[in-house]
Amino acid sequence: LAYFDTGRASNGGTEAVNGLIELHRRIARGFRNRDNYRLRMLLIAGGLTSPHLK
């Protein structure tokens, strides 16, 4: 019901990205390097672009 009370605002996109991060966090338990973990999360969330793809 909050969707209709807030001018059709939704947190669905945020929840979707959070679900992806949680899934890959479980997969990436072995990462010891925080930078590699961060890059993995950016990659699966779509916030990282590769210069090789251009």
Extents of the domains making up the chain: 2-53
Percent of the chain with pLDDT over 90: 0
CA distance 47 to 52: 15
CA distance 54 to 50: 7
Q: Average pLDDT of the chain? A: 77
SS3 for 7-51, per residue?
A: CCCCCHHHHHHHHHHHHHHHHCCCCCCHHHHHHHHHHHHCCCCCH
> Rounded to the nearest 10 degrees, what angle do helices 12-27 and 34-45 cross at?
140
In the prediction, which pLDDT does 48 show?
A: 67
In the prediction, which pLDDT does 29 show?
A: 75
* Confidence band for 31, pLDDT divided at 50, 70 and 90: confident
- Whether the pTM exceeds 0.75: the reply is no
Summarised one tens digit per residue, pLDDT across range 1-19 is 677 888 878 888 888 888 8
